A and B are shown apart, each in its own frame.
Chain A
Amino acid sequence: MLRVPIPEGPDAGLFRVLRDDGSADPANDPFLSPEQLGAMHRQMRRLRVLEARMVVLQRQGRVGFYGSCTGQEATPIAVGLALSPDDWVFPALRESAIMLVRGFALTSYIAQVFGNSRDLLKGRQMPSHMSGRSVNQVSWSSCIGPQIPQAVGCAMAMQRAGKREIAVGFSGDGATSQPDFHNAMTFAARFAAPCLIICQNNHWSISVPTAKQTASATIAVKGRAYGVPSVRVDGNDVLAVYVAVRDAAARARDGGGPSFIECVTYRMGAHSTSDDPTRYRSNEEVESWARKDPLDRLERYLRRAGLLDDAALAALDDELKAEVERAIDEVEPAPPPSREQLFEDVYASPTWPLLEQRAALSQVPKAESPH
Chain B
Amino acid sequence: MPQINMVQAINDALRLAMQRDPRVLVMGEDVGKVGGVFRVTAGLHEEFGEARVIDTPLSEGGIIGTAIGMALYGLVPVPEIQFSDFIFPAYDQIVSELAKMRWRSGGEYSAKMVIRTPVGGGIRGGLYHSQSPEAQFIHVAGLKVVCPSNPYDAKGLLLASIADPDPVLFFEPKRVYRAAKGEVPEGPYTVELGKAAIAREGAHVTVVAWGAMLYEALEAAHQASARGVEAEVIDLRTLWPLDIDTVVASVKKTGRVVVVHEAPRTCGLGGEIVSLITERAFTHLEAPPARVTGFDTPFPYTTELDYLPLAHRILPAIVDAARY
| Cross-chain contact A348 with B102 (CB below 8 angstroms) | yes
Query: Which residues in window 154-175 of A have CB below 8 A to B?
Result: 154-158, 160-161, 167
Cα A280 to Cα B59 in complex, Å, equals 36
Cα A125 to Cα B105 in complex, Å, equals 9
A58 within 8 A of B: no
CB closest chain-A residue, reference B276: A353
Which of B71-79, B148-156, B225-233, B257-265 lies at the interface with chain A?
A: B71-79
- The interface residues of chain A lying within 8 Å CB-to-CB of B56 are 187
A323 within 8 A of B: no
| Cross-chain contact B66 with A347 (CB below 8 angstroms) | no
- The interface residues of chain A lying within 8 Å CB-to-CB of B142 are 346-347
| Cross-chain contact A150 with B69 (CB below 8 angstroms) | yes
| Cross-chain contact A125 with B97 (CB below 8 angstroms) | no
Q: On chain A, which size bracket covers the interface?
A: 35 or more
| Cross-chain contact A88 with B59 (CB below 8 angstroms) | no
- The interface residues of chain B lying within 8 Å CB-to-CB of A352 are 241, 244
A78 within 8 A of B: no
B246 within 8 A of A: no
Cα A149 to Cα B72 in complex, Å, equals 12
Which one of A155, A186, A353 lies within 8 Å of B69 (CB-CB)? Answer: A155
Which of B88-96, B120-128, B173-181, B286-294 lies at the interface with chain A?
A: B88-96
Which one of A119, A138, A183 lies within 8 Å of B72 (CB-CB)? Answer: A138
Q: A138-B72, A141-B97, A149-B69 are in contact. Are A121 and B105 (CB under 8 A)?
A: yes
| Cross-chain contact A187 with B66 (CB below 8 angstroms) | yes
CB closest chain-B residue, reference A351: B241
| Cross-chain contact A186 with B109 (CB below 8 angstroms) | no
Which one of A120, A149, A344, A353 lies within 8 Å of B61 (CB-CB)? Answer: A149
B235 to chain A minimum Cβ distance, whole angstroms, is 19
Contact with B along A175-203 (1 / 0, CB 8 A): 00001101110110010000000000000
B316 within 8 A of A: no
A152 within 8 A of B: yes
| Cross-chain contact A152 with B69 (CB below 8 angstroms) | yes
Q: A146-B97, A187-B56 are in contact. Are A138 and B65 (CB under 8 A)?
A: no
B2 within 8 A of A: no
| Cross-chain contact A146 with B104 (CB below 8 angstroms) | no
B85 within 8 A of A: no
Cα A121 to Cα B109 in complex, Å, equals 11
A131 within 8 A of B: yes
User: Which of B65, B67, B70, B92 has the largest count of A CB atoms less than 10 A from its CB?
Assistant: B65
B152 to chain A minimum Cβ distance, whole angstroms, is 25
A212 to chain B minimum Cβ distance, whole angstroms, is 23
Cα A148 to Cα B97 in complex, Å, equals 12
| Cross-chain contact B62 with A184 (CB below 8 angstroms) | yes
Which one of B66, B67, B93, B108 lies within 8 Å of A133 (CB-CB)? Answer: B108
Cα A155 to Cα B57 in complex, Å, equals 16
- The interface residues of chain B lying within 8 Å CB-to-CB of A125 are 104
Cα A88 to Cα B102 in complex, Å, equals 17
Q: A88-B73, A157-B73, A158-B73 are in contact. Are A186 and B106 (CB under 8 A)?
A: no
Which one of A150, A158, A182 lies within 8 Å of B68 (CB-CB)? Answer: A150
- The interface residues of chain B lying within 8 Å CB-to-CB of A116 are none
B51 within 8 A of A: yes
B165 within 8 A of A: yes
Q: A88-B73, A150-B97, A157-B70 are in contact. Are A184 and B65 (CB under 8 A)?
A: yes
Q: A141-B104, A149-B69, A345-B103 are in contact. Are A131 and B144 (CB under 8 A)?
A: no
| Cross-chain contact B105 with A141 (CB below 8 angstroms) | no
A265 within 8 A of B: no
Cα A179 to Cα B93 in complex, Å, equals 11
Q: A138-B109, A149-B66, A346-B102 are in contact. Are A154 and B73 (CB under 8 A)?
A: yes
Contact with B along A92-125 (1 / 0, CB 8 A): 0000000000000000000000000001111011
Which one of A146, A180, A190, A346 lies within 8 Å of B103 (CB-CB)? Answer: A346
Which one of B59, B65, B166 lies within 8 Å of A153 (CB-CB)? Answer: B65
B200 to chain A minimum Cβ distance, whole angstroms, is 25
A188 to chain B minimum Cβ distance, whole angstroms, is 9
Which one of A129, A157, A183, A345 lies within 8 Å of B107 (CB-CB)? Answer: A345
6 CB-based A-B contacts, threshold 8 Å:
A146-B65, A153-B67, A179-B59, A183-B59, A347-B142, A351-B194
Name the 10 nearest CB pairs between A and B, nearest first.
A153-B69, A149-B65, A153-B66, A183-B62, A154-B69, A348-B165, A157-B73, A150-B69, A133-B108, A351-B241
| Chain A residues within 8 Å of B, Cβ to Cβ | 88, 90, 119-122, 124-125, 129, 131-133, 138-139, 141, 143, 146, 148-158, 160-161, 167, 179-180, 182-184, 186-187, 190, 344-348, 351-353
| Chain B residues within 8 Å of A, Cβ to Cβ | 51, 56-57, 59, 61-62, 65-75, 89, 92-93, 96-97, 100, 102-110, 141-142, 144, 165-166, 194, 241, 244
